[in-house]
Amino acid sequence: MGKLFHYLRFYKKESILGPLFKLLEATFELLVPLVMAQVIDVGIKHQDTPYILQMCGIMVLLGVIGLACSLTAQYFAARASVGFTTSVRRDLFSHIEHLSYSEIDTLGTSTLITRMTSDLNQVQSGLNLALRLLLRSPFVVFGAMVMAFTIDIKAAIPFVIIIPLLSVVVFGIMLITIPLYKKVQSRLDQVTLTTRENLTGVRVIRAFHKEEEETARFADANSALTGIQLFVGRISALLNPVTYIIINAGILAVIWTGAWQVEDGILTQGAVVALINYMSQILVELVKLANLIITITKAVACGNRIQAVFEVTSSMEFPAGASSSEKAFSGNASASSRQNSKESNSMESGSIEIPAVVFDHVSFTYKDAKAESLSDIHFTAKKGETIGIIGGTGSGKTSLVNLIPRFYDATNGSIQIFGRDIKAYTADELRDQIGVVPQKAVLFKGTIADNLRFGKQDATPEEMKEALSFAQASDFVSSKAGGLNAVVEQNGRNFSGGQKQRLTIARAFIRKPQILILDDSASALDYATDARLRQAIRDMSPNITVFVVSQRTSSIRHADQIIVLDDGQVAGIGTHDELLADCEVYQEIYYSQYPKEAESHGEK
């Protein structure tokens, strides 16, 4: 939590003025009992109405000045806390965006959402209260004790006993509750995870009629959160009654001591009233302090969770290069210029053309996994080739193509893109050359044009139409009201699965990448549309290398090379005809999809 405080450097003025004005308010508040004592001892005793009115006017003035100081302090505290939270949230989101897939997989989406929202809100609330009350409450407590001693030393002795006793209670409960609030936030993560899974997977749950089971699962997670919250709440709830008992005992001691001294003529009645007022002030401020400590305890626990995310560093390191904002507008042009430069260098030197992608005995293991997902993958993809990747479920197809844009780093071996090791590229250089259509089609709220601009920020309408035509999406886009400006709802829920897949293909193609990765991106397309898409891939620029991941042999049978994966290992590499003759895994997949050919093959 302590490392987050450097964000307050932007709000030094507010962080100083907020507590300062609160201390001024507290100072005026400490003067009120002395004025009240004068009203009793002088004004009421001598029935001096003008004096009483004068003192009452002074009290009203002290109240007005105190209110002005309080409002000013609240303004500065709010500016500092909201600004602090805004800065932390911005940098936290940026930090998460720069983490690799491995770290995001390890942390989990639900806990990251909780830390970005609930945890940061708790920190903001805690900081706001701390700036206003963390100095004010102790100042009033000890100030009241000092003022009591200025009235009478013997009558102020209960203050010396009460304040340390209350401190032991308050800080003891705080030490007990700090670790418990960490558990509360952890349980909240589980509730968030369950809620998120149920809301995103509501159709699956209803399809399998699992509403009751999921309700029970949510109830279990919610009960666990409720249980720990009740437990820590009961401990925290001891603060108010215990402090009230101690303070009231102190007030009784002050009245008992003061009564004898008044009778002996040592103290005045106004002085006793002032002492009781100071004891009451201590009660109010310690109750505030107790509640403040509870809030700060929650804020510290949440701040530590946020700091823990900041301390997670990406397992990937990219060389220093141009910033993302600089590359965003020039990415496509720079990719083309690099390609032209490579071609001209190749022609001038008369050397053999550099391969587009080379996997040199690559192995890959997910973080904390016990077994390799890919083992000793070795192949070369030339510029302009179409590479098909096929295999059973869990064979490692997506893992393989995720290594090309460096979403994950290979555990062993090396990967080269256009003759350079993949780790020698900056993130912008690498991603500018690669267009990726992920296995799950994801669209963002906005318009079709907005989603296409994810691929190329300055794309023209003509470029968008060309990309849509390539992705076989022109027909349904033109039929939408608004065309390119048709509304896309959250996650593209107003589009069918096939339409979303085609829009994501267009989004990847619009940047004219040198390497295009289609990760099972035609699974929701009908066979006719799939066939037209395959034809469009064959007809596009001969300089683009295409990786097609598919479960259908029809989608990859015309590829220049087909890589067959089986349990993370290469079972065969070759053309469709070569694999059909020599690769048992490919034969099994192909004939399962074309049983009539399997019968014909068996007869022969």
SS3 380: strand
Please provide the average confidence, as pLDDT, over all residues in the chain.
Answer: 84
Q: What is the pLDDT of residue 338?
A: 42
Is pLDDT above 90 for 1? no
Which CA distances in Å does 468 have to 34, 166, 512? 81, 71, 13
Is pLDDT above 80 for 339? no
Q: What is the pLDDT of residue 418?
A: 92
Q: Is 520 left (phi over 0), alpha (psi -120 to 50) or beta?
A: left
Bridge-based pairing of strands 561-566 and 569-574 is: antiparallel
Using 50, 70 and 90 to split pLDDT, how confident is the model at 601? low
Do 441 and 501 touch, CB atoms closer than 8 A? yes
Mean pLDDT for 305-312 is: 90
Rounded-to-integer distance, Cα 271 and Cα 442, Å: 73
Q: What is the pLDDT of residue 415?
A: 94
Which CA distances in Å does 105 have to 99, 100, 123, 255, 365? 10, 9, 25, 64, 13
User: What is the radius of gyration, based on Cα positions, of the chain?
Assistant: 36
Using 50, 70 and 90 to split pLDDT, how confident is the model at 171? confident
Q: What is the pLDDT of residue 352?
A: 62
Any residues with CB less than 8 A from the CB of 389 and at least 6 apart, and which? Answer: 397, 400, 401, 547, 548, 549, 550, 556, 562, 563, 565
**DSSP output for 327-339:** HHHHHHHHHHHHH
HSE-CB for 208 with a 13 A CA cutoff? 8
Q: What is the pLDDT of residue 332?
A: 39
Residue 516 has φ and ψ, to the nearest 5°, of: -115, 125
Q: What is the pLDDT of residue 289?
A: 78
Helix axis angle, 239-263 to 211-237, nearest 10°: 20
Is pLDDT above 80 for 335? no
Bridge-based pairing of strands 374-381 and 487-488 is: unpaired
Residues 131-150: tens digit of each pLDDT: 988 888 888 888 888 888 88
| Per-residue three-class SS string for 267-287 | CCHHHHHHHHHHHHHHHHHHH
Q: What is the pLDDT of residue 413?
A: 93
Do 84 and 8 touch, CB atoms closer than 8 A? yes
Q: What is the pLDDT of residue 322?
A: 44
- Which residue has tokens 């794309």? 459
Residues 395-428: tens digit of each pLDDT: 899 999 999 999 999 999 999 999 999 999 998 8
Residues 515-535: tens digit of each pLDDT: 999 988 877 788 888 888 888
Residues 268-294: tens digit of each pLDDT: 888 888 888 887 787 778 778 777 877
Q: What is the pLDDT of residue 285?
A: 81
Using 50, 70 and 90 to split pLDDT, how confident is the model at 599? low
Is pLDDT above 60 for 260? yes
In order of their start, the domains of the chain are 2-310 (1.20.1560.10), 328-433+513-603 (3.40.50.300), 443-512 (3.40.50.300)
Return the higher-pLDDT residue of 160 and 559: 559
Q: What is the pLDDT of residue 330?
A: 35
Question: What sign does the dihedral 555-558-561-563 (CA atoms) show?
Answer: positive
Burial class (CB in 10 A: 0-12, 13-18, 19+), 328: middle
Structure-token pair, residue 481: 């009201």
Mean pLDDT for 320-336 is: 41
- The least confident of 179-193, 332-346, 482-496, 497-511 is 332-346
SS3 134: coil
Do 517 and 434 touch, CB atoms closer than 8 A? yes
Is pLDDT above 70 for 325? no
Any residues with CB less than 8 A from the CB of 328 and at least 6 apart, and which? Answer: 457
Burial class (CB in 10 A: 0-12, 13-18, 19+), 111: buried
Residues 452-496: tens digit of each pLDDT: 998 888 899 999 999 999 989 998 998 888 889 999 998 888 888
Do 178 and 300 touch, CB atoms closer than 8 A? yes
Structure-token pair, residue 486: 């048709």
Using 50, 70 and 90 to split pLDDT, how confident is the model at 340? very low
Bridge-based pairing of strands 487-488 and 446-447 is: antiparallel
Using 50, 70 and 90 to split pLDDT, how confident is the model at 49? confident
Do 488 and 445 touch, CB atoms closer than 8 A? yes
Is pLDDT above 80 for 557? yes
Do 518 and 549 touch, CB atoms closer than 8 A? yes
Do 555 and 534 touch, CB atoms closer than 8 A? yes
Burial class (CB in 10 A: 0-12, 13-18, 19+), 311: exposed
Read off the amino acid at residue 197. E
Which CA distances in Å does 520 have to 440, 506, 548, 554, 581? 9, 15, 7, 12, 25
